[in-house]
Chains A and B, each alone.
Chain A
Amino acid sequence: MNQTLRYTAKKVLWTIPILVGITFLAFGLGLIARGDPATNRASADPNYIPTEEEIQELRAEMGLDDPILAQYGRWIWNVAHGDLGESYIDDKPVLGEILRLLPNTLLLSGMALLVIAVVGLAGGLLLTLFRDKFIDLLGRVLLVLLMSIPGFCLAYFMIWLFAQKLRILPTSGAETLSCFLMPCLAISIGSACVVIRLLRSSILGELGKNYILTAQAKGLRRGQLISRHALRNSLVPSITYIANTFGGLLGGSMITESVFSVPGIGSYALTAINNRDYIAIQGYVLFTGVVFVLVCLLADLICAWLNPQIRLGG
């Protein structure tokens, strides 16, 4: 138990410098933004052309004349107080907007997580149980094919099939749960295929080890070997992959959100980009980075719990 605690503490402490680094990165991205933020903000109203003095005044007001470190200090101070700044365009707080849109993204990525985990696990087990039989061979060919279809192409095919031809699902929006069905499938099918393949190959790798031979000698059947011994040890790569995908999705799957017009974080980021709203982009990068790192940390801890070798060895 002591060792587990030490491992957990070490992992948690290591994320702190990473999080600090991400704040640097997010702030730095704002610095390289093309164009002068003060000019952009002053010309947000297309009917009004600002004078040079007004822009200078705005620069001073926004603190853009201060040294970079001072600007970073002020930014990070606000971030620590839960203030990611206000959008140039509509003066709405960035964090508030992100949190307002988060439930849609959360629902979408949660559903996708469920599909990826369930389909991936079931498929991987199925293929291993029927190894080298017809199902396995057919399945593997299908997996490579499905994996290769880009998500947004898949999205359009689904719209064409389910919404245009069969007329059973809505094409866009976020009002009912059925709106999320197609976007969820569009983002999860490819990843589910990857998980199936990962799991299959790691279970097969595990089945070649000596402890499995011992269990086999004691008379366990193939199904029991997998479910009691091999599965637990083979889950680590799949869990790491799923966590990576899920973390990425939480940052908003812009492409799918834009195809299906789901008002989520990804759509928010795209709008911010079209408006050159660099405060919003900064806030968005910071937010996704932090969420991603935390999800990966959680996955690491789950893996260490599943496989003591990780927490004892590291």
Chain B
Amino acid sequence: MRGKKVLFILSLTVLVLFLLVGVFADFLAPCDPNAVDMANGLAAPSPEHWLGTDHIGRDLLSRLIYGSRSSVFIAFFATGCTLLLGMTIGLVSGYLGGWLDQLIQAVVNIFQGIPSTAFVVAILGLLGPGMRSLLIAIVVSSWAGFSRIVRNQVLEIRELHYIEGARAMGGGSFYIMRRHILPNILLPLLVLIATRIGSTVLTVAAMSYLGLGLRAPAADWGIMINDAKLYYVKDFLVLLAPAACLTLFCLSINLIADYLRDCLDHDDGAARML
């Protein structure tokens, strides 16, 4: 357990670093991420370009730094939106119950009936590429799963005595949901939020790689991998750098989720993999 704690702190540090790098990209990046220098394409690492340059001479390190801005920002923002929508719907559905719950669950089942990659790709294809479409696609394709888990959590604690007590004291539905139910499901939800952030980063990168996410000159890890696919045989670093960033990000998210999961159900061995 101690080893896991060290890993957790390490992962959290990495995650925070990614965030900080994203926020302060303007100060940290040594060059303009879109400055083209055709004469200096696929250059090896040097004092001017620490990681070398890509096929049209753009500084690889600067592109990585700006890439962490777009990936991390979209991942956090999209997860936040999904959380807000999914949680509200799940809370209402689970707490109020009755025909409303039945109706919402039917809609949830329908939205979950389409595999998420296919769903995201279809929405992006119909809306066209771009940041806004990416956000819409991620939220529309993932709110349902979120709300279902929230609902199941709510159902578990709805019948507990302290909720009954709050109701007996005359608390309204909204008050009980906000003050008594929400705080108690938030912690278990953290695991889900962590894994969702990881998978959203992957979705963003994959869609940008396919040319459906962010538009081409933008500095984004997925776009960088797409750019690299014709040149990595000559210069492996152009592929390795963005792939390593993606992997490192996902690794730290997975380790964080693992640790949180262990903390939550150390007595219940059948850890729920969300």
Contact = CB atoms under 8 A, between A and B. Distances in A.
A29 B122 contact: yes
Contact of A198 (B124, B248, B273): B273
Most chain B CB inside 10 Å of its own CB: which residue of A149, A152, A247, A259:
A152
Contacts of A269: 118, 121-122, 125
A273 interface: yes
Contacts of B228: 156
A63 B115 CA distance: 30
Given A156-B243, A252-B118, A281 B271 contact: no
Nearest to B212: A273
Contacts of B239: 153, 156, 160
B113 A18 contact: yes
B119 interface: yes
Nearest to B250: A148
Given A248-B116, A273-B212, A255 B126 contact: no
Nearest to A237: B273
Given A248-B118, A289-B114, A281 B126 contact: yes
Given A29-B126, A144-B255, A149 B247 contact: yes
Contacts, number: 152
Contact of B229 (A148, A156, A237, A272): A156
A160 B114 contact: no
Contacts of A278: 126
Contacts of B77: none
A208 B115 contact: no
Interface string B3-26: 000000000000000000000000
A270 B207 CA distance: 11
B258 interface: yes
A288 B206 contact: no
A33 interface: yes
Nearest to A273: B125
Nearest to B125: A273
Given A29-B123, A150-B246, A204 B269 contact: yes
B114 A292 contact: yes
Contacts of B123: 29
B270 A18 contact: no
Interface in A27-68: 29-30, 32-34
A253 B121 CA distance: 11
B233 A273 contact: no
B268 interface: yes
Question: Which secondary structure characterizes the binding site on chain A?
Answer: helix
A224 interface: no
B117 A144 contact: no
Interface residues of A, number: 59
B194 interface: no
Nearest to B106: A17
B92 interface: no
A18 B109 contact: yes
B44 interface: no
A87 interface: no
Contact of B121 (A150, A254, A259): A254
Interface string A236-274: 010001000001100111110011000000000110110
Contacts of B246: 150, 153
Contacts of A258: 210
Nearest to A202: B270
A204 B239 CA distance: 39
A293 interface: yes
Given A34-B128, A164-B233, A255-B210, A284 B118 contact: yes
Contact of B118 (A145, A150, A288): A288
Interface string B188-215: 0000000000000010011001101000
B42 to A, nearest CB: 16
Across the A-B interface, the 5 shortest Cβ-Cβ residue pairs: A273-B125, A205-B270, A21-B110, A205-B269, A248-B115
23 contacts: A18-B110, A18-B113, A21-B107, A34-B127, A34-B128, A145-B251, A150-B247, A153-B246, A156-B243, A157-B243, A204-B269, A205-B269, A251-B117, A254-B117, A254-B210, A255-B117, A255-B206, A258-B210, A259-B229, A269-B125, A272-B125, A273-B121, A284-B118
Interface of B: 106-107, 109-111, 113-119, 121-128, 202, 205-206, 209-210, 212, 225, 228-229, 232-233, 236, 239, 243, 246-248, 250-251, 253-255, 258, 268-271, 273
